[in-house]
Amino acid sequence: MTDTPLLEVDDLAVEFRIGGRAQRAVSGVSFTLERGRTLGVVGESGCGKSVTSLAIMRLVPQPPGHYAGGAIRFGGTDLLSLPEREMRRLRGGRIGMIFQEPMTSLNPVYTCGDQIVESLRVHSGLDRRAARERAVELLDLVGLPSPKSRVDDYPHQLSGGQRQRVMIALALANDPDLLIADEPTTALDVTIQAQILDLMGDLRDRTGAAVLLVTHDLGVVAQTCEDVVVMYAGRIVEKAPTGALFADPQHPYTIGLMAAVPRIDAGVARLATIPGSVPPPWARIAGCRFASRCPLASERCRTEDPPLRALAPGHAVACWHAPIEEAA
């Protein structure tokens, strides 16, 4: 087995030009993902999580989007320089993606089964009959009721949660080497959520696939991920093994996220909140982008952008005040 990580994102920057003004949605994002591991990417809405996942799939619309810098390597191959024909072979084959909005990701004029069948025939070379049988198996695997009959339903005939299960079946169809899951359990009840997370874990364990899980749910991260990347305003502010992050978070934003998680032993105590709001993408900020919301912010924080620096093996943080002893 090669020592090369399956996925390497190196100093990625993505901009959107809107109204004649360039807005930086992702800036300087770097991480690696090894085979057989799950990496969680967490943060508030608008922090750049979904843009990062779409960038890896090379699905950022151009225009208005633009890859402003960096590299994305999959198995050592730079995806940003790959011809579109070869990229299409990877999408749905070696790289599967569960999109956040299944209604806009599934084709409304084809049945759910036909969309899975098409992917199986293109990437796995199955004939139509075998592909249809496999489609039914996949729909049953993700918990869709009456899969033999629902395989012929159109997306609009299904509920939001059912469409999400179809999207998951489509992403898993060809046993991908890399599965990117963008909020995969948002529309599902807790029972089905647990089943889907188990299903993704089973795929990883069975095939050695890597999973990139984009979520706002720290409970899901604690349950499924070996490593975590915390993003804020388009940048990585902390990354660490999951156990280390939960035991000793070091960025004030990460600490705030942890404090906002409901606790069973907290009784009726009011949940902690992070004051203020995420700065807009077009805001020009000289220092730390979290400084306006940070209880530890100093003059240096407002004028100098902190680099991501290592505190311990595998644990890095972008904060001038780290290490933060109170976080222990």
Is 17 in contact with 64 (CB distance < 8 Å)? yes
* Of 64, 45, 166, 50, nearest in space to 105 by CA: 166
Residue environment code for 227-265, b if the CB has 16+ CB neighbours within 10 A, otherwise e: bbbbbbbbbbbbbbbbebbbebbbbbbbbbbeeeeeeee
Is 328 in contact with 248 (CB distance < 8 Å)? yes
Domains, the chain, with CATH or none: 7-225 (3.40.50.300), 232-262+272-327 (no CATH)
Q: What percent of the chain has pLDDT over 90?
A: 35
Q: Is the pLDDT of residue 266 over 70?
A: no
Q: What is the pLDDT of residue 103?
A: 66
Read off the pTM: 0.87
DSSP-derived letter for residue 99 is -
Q: What is the pLDDT of residue 47?
A: 84
Q: What is the pLDDT of residue 320?
A: 92
Q: Mind listing the pLDDT tens digit for each residue in 65-80?
A: 888 889 999 988 899 9
* Of 148, 159, 186, 173, nearest in space to 50 by CA: 186
What residues contact 87, with CB distance under 8 A and at least 6 apart? 58, 79
Mean predicted confidence (pLDDT) in 240-269: 82
Q: Mind listing the pLDDT tens digit for each residue in 205-250?
A: 887 889 999 988 888 898 889 999 999 988 999 999 999 999 999 9
SS3 307: coil
In the structure, what pLDDT confidence band is assigned to residue 327 with cuts at 50, 70 and 90? very low
To 5 degrees, how large is the angle CA 263–CA 277–CA 323? 65
Mean predicted confidence (pLDDT) in 121-126: 86
Q: Mind listing the pLDDT tens digit for each residue in 301-322?
A: 999 999 999 988 889 999 999 8
What residues contact 144, with CB distance under 8 A and at least 6 apart? 150, 162, 165, 166, 169
Q: What is the pLDDT of residue 243?
A: 92
How far is residue 194's CA from residue 91's CA, in Å, rounded to a whole number? 26
